[in-house]
Amino acid sequence: MDKKKTGLPPLDWLRVFEAAGRLGGFSAAAREFGLTQAAVSQRIGNLEAWLGRSLFIREARGVSLTVEGESYLPLVQESLTALERNTEDLFGKAPKELRVAGLSSHINALVMGRAAEFLAAHPGVRLVTDSVARRSGLDEERTWLQIRYGRGAWPGREALLIAPEVLVPLAAPGVGWDQGVIELRGERPGWQDWARETGQSAPDMARLSVDSMEHALSAARQGLGVVLGSVPLAQGLLADGRLRRLDLPELATRDGYWLAWPEDRLRSAKLRALVDGFCAALKPAE
C-alpha cells in the first residue's frame, strides 16, 4: 500500500466502501449504485491507497473485510448517517404530509376528535389516515406510522404513548345494572378481573357478548347494558353525554395506545418534531 494521505478521502469512495462492507461484496454494492463491479473495485482500491491500509481480503469466492475494514466500517456508517441527517435538518424541506394507520375504531376515537388541533398547529401539513385489518402485524402494513394497542415494546420499533388503557363501567344515560352487562371477549381484562382487582361484586353473566371494544361501546350507547369500557376510546361519547361513567372504581391496565414506527425511520429532526407534535395533539387533555 502507498503511504497514507492526510485529510479525508472523497465521499464517493466512502459511500461505496460502506455499501460493499454492509452488503458483503463488490457486486452487491455495484447494483446499489448502478455501477460496474470494476468501478466499485477501483473506488475501493483508491480508498485503500489513500488510507495506506487494506480494507478487504480478495479471494476467488468473494471478498471479506480485514480487521482494519471491520473497525473502519461502523465509523464510516455513523459519519454518513450523521451527515445525511444534519443535511436534511438544515436544508431539507419540511414534511408536507403525515400518514398514519390504525384500526378504524382507534382512528375514529383517538385521531378524528383531535385532528383539528393538529392541523391548526401545522397549517402546511396534510394528514392522511389508513384503516387497517384487525390484529395485522406491524410489518404487514405499508404505512410506517401506526397506532397500536399494547405495551409499547415491539422489536425494531420506537413508540410514543398516546394514552394508557383505563377500563371503567360505562352506560348510556338512564341505563343501570338492571339492563345487565355487555361482555367483551379478547385481550383486555373483563368483568371478573375488574371485580377481583377492585373488590366489587362480579356481575351476572352477560346476555350480550362482542369481540371488539368498538362494538361494546356502540352497544352500551344504544342502552343494551353496562360495558367495562375504554376511557381513551370512549372520550368523545363521554364528552357529549352519550355515555356516562358509573360511580364505581376504574381498572388501570398495563396496556395503552401508542404511535409506533420503525426505529430507523425518523432520521430527520423535522419529521420527528412533526410526529412528536402529532402525538401531543392526540393525548387527552389533563
Task: Please tell me whether residues 114 and 214 are part of one structural domain.
Answer: no
pLDDT over 90, % of the chain: 72
Among residues 232, 207, 196, 201, the alpha carbon closest in space to that of 217 is found at 232
Residue 19's CATH number: 1.10.10.10
> In terms of Cα–Cα distance, which of 85, 263, 53 is closest to 17?
53
**Overall domain count for the chain:** 3
Q: What is the DSSP letter of 59?
A: E
Same domain assignment for residues 187 and 247: yes
Question: Measured on CA atoms in the order 219, 223, 228, 231, is the torsion positive or negative?
Answer: positive
The three cell numbers of residue 39 are 468501478
Rounded to whole angstroms, what are the CA distances from 69 to 4, 65, 74? Answer: 15, 5, 9
Facing residues of 244 across strands? Answer: 171
Predicted TM-score (pTM) of this structure: 0.69
Instruction: Pick the closest to residue 51 from 15, 96, 10 (CA basis).
Output: 10
Examine the domain organization and report whether 150 and 271 are in the same domain.
yes
C-alpha pair distances (Å), 190 with each of 147, 206, 211, 249: 23, 11, 12, 14
pLDDT (0 to 100) of residue 15: 93
Residue 164: phi, psi to the nearest 5? Answer: -70, 150
Domain boundary among 70, 91, 112: 91
Q: Residues 46, 67: one domain?
A: yes
Three cell numbers at 247?
360511580
The CATH number given to whatever domain includes residue 216 is 3.40.190.10
One-letter amino acid at 248 equals: L
| Full domain range(s) for residue 131 | 97-164+256-282
In a domain, 5, yes or no: no
52 and 179 inside one domain: no
153 and 261 fall within a common domain: yes
pLDDT by residue (tens digit) across 60-82? 888 999 999 999 999 999 898 78
How do the pLDDT tens digits run along the chain, 286 residues long? 555 566 789 999 999 999 999 999 999 999 989 999 999 999 999 999 999 999 999 988 889 999 999 999 999 998 987 887 777 666 666 678 999 999 999 999 999 989 999 999 999 899 999 988 766 565 656 788 999 999 999 998 999 999 999 999 999 999 999 899 999 999 899 999 999 999 999 898 898 999 999 999 999 999 999 999 999 999 999 999 999 999 999 999 999 999 999 987 887 788 888 999 999 999 987 6
